[in-house]
Each structure stands twice: as C-alpha cells, then as structure tokens.
Amino acid sequence: MSTHRRLRLEWCRARANWTAAEWNQVVFRDESRFNLGSNDNRVRVWRAPRGKRLNPAFAVQRHIVPTAGMMVWVAIAYNTRLPLVLFRGTLAAQRYVDEILQPHVLPLIQRLPGVIFQDANAPLHTAKVSHNCLRTVTSLPGAARSPDLSPIEQIWDHLGRRVGHPTSLNELEPRLQQIWNEMSQDIIQN
C-alpha cells in the first residue's frame, strides 16, 4: 500500500466515529485558481492507438499560452461561511496570514467557540508564520492527497459551472463574488 493510501486510511479511521455535531464544527478551507479561457496550463497526455504512438496523423499541435486568472480562497462550515477572498498574483505565507488568516479566520474563531480549523498540507499553510498565527486554534489535519474528503470540492464545482466565460479579470472577479453571495447554505450543507 502506498504511503498516501495508508495515511488516507489512517485519517479516515481516526474520524470514523465522529458525530454529525463534531463534523459541523469543522471549518474547511481551500484555494483554487480560476482562469480566463479554457487553458488551465496543465499538460495533458492521451494514449495513442497501439502502434501509432509517434505517427504524425495522431499528433495534435497546439500553441498554448498561459492564461490570466486569479486565485480564490473559501472557507465553509455547516452553519456559516467566510467571505470569498480573491487575489491576483502569488499567495505566499505572509500574504496568506495578512490577507486571509488575520482579517477573516481569526475573527470567525473568536465568534464561534469550539470551531475546528481544517489544516492543509500546502507550503503556505505549513509555513512557520501561518502556524504562529494559528497557534491557539484547534485544528484538524488534512488528509494527504484527498481532496474528495473535503466538502469544498462541491463548492469549486458550483462556482466553475456558473462562472461562464468571462473575458477579463475585471469581469471574472465580480462574477465569482456574485455566485458566492447568491449560493445558499443548503449547497454547503449537502
């Protein structure tokens, strides 16, 4: 069994007996990138028919240009959610603390005693400055390489299906905010 599979199984077994009330205390958070156009800058490889691997008739040439986009940060819990945070450029650990943790997460935690903040394994989450900011916060370790265990995946799907095809960042940003603001808590709870 691979290390990630073993860690995922351990994570699930450790929480197998959690009640709905315990899960309702968890604040799940995540970041995702929304791009203009359809190019998300990922490399995709399709297998060619057997014996045709290098046959030019089965090659598709495309000139891929990096597309503009923005990062989106969300945090949800069963009975609440934080404001959608949109940012352009790179999100480093200090910026994460200054623009997300201090203005959004810490006030939520003060407002909701007993809340559990879900950790993630991204470098900006594990950075010393991030840990220092959250040192008094009860946390739930994230499951290794297991985005399907987070209800935030359905939020990304909801936003992605409704955002349409904006042609500029100035169009994308308010569209994402509008979708987020109109999203019912029922979507988060399901």
Residues 102-115 have pLDDT tens digits of: 999 999 999 998 99
Is 70 within 8 Å of 166 (Cβ atoms)?
no
Is 85 within 8 Å of 73 (Cβ atoms)?
yes
Residues 6+ apart with CB under 8 A from 9: 1
Q: What is the pLDDT of residue 47?
A: 58
Q: What is the DSSP letter of 162?
A: H
pLDDT(92) > 60: yes
Q: What is the pLDDT of residue 136?
A: 92
Is 73 within 8 Å of 81 (Cβ atoms)?
no
pLDDT(44) > 60: no
pLDDT(94) > 60: yes
Bridge partners (DSSP) listed for residue 14:
none
pLDDT(67) > 70: yes
Higher-pLDDT residue of 84 and 89 is: 84
The superfamily in CATH containing domain 19-37+68-188 is: Ribonuclease H-like superfamily/Ribonuclease H (3.30.420.10)
Q: What is the DSSP letter of 149?
A: G
pLDDT-based confidence at residue 119 (cuts at 50, 70, 90): confident
Total residue count of the chain as it appears in this document: 190
Q: What is the pLDDT of residue 145?
A: 76
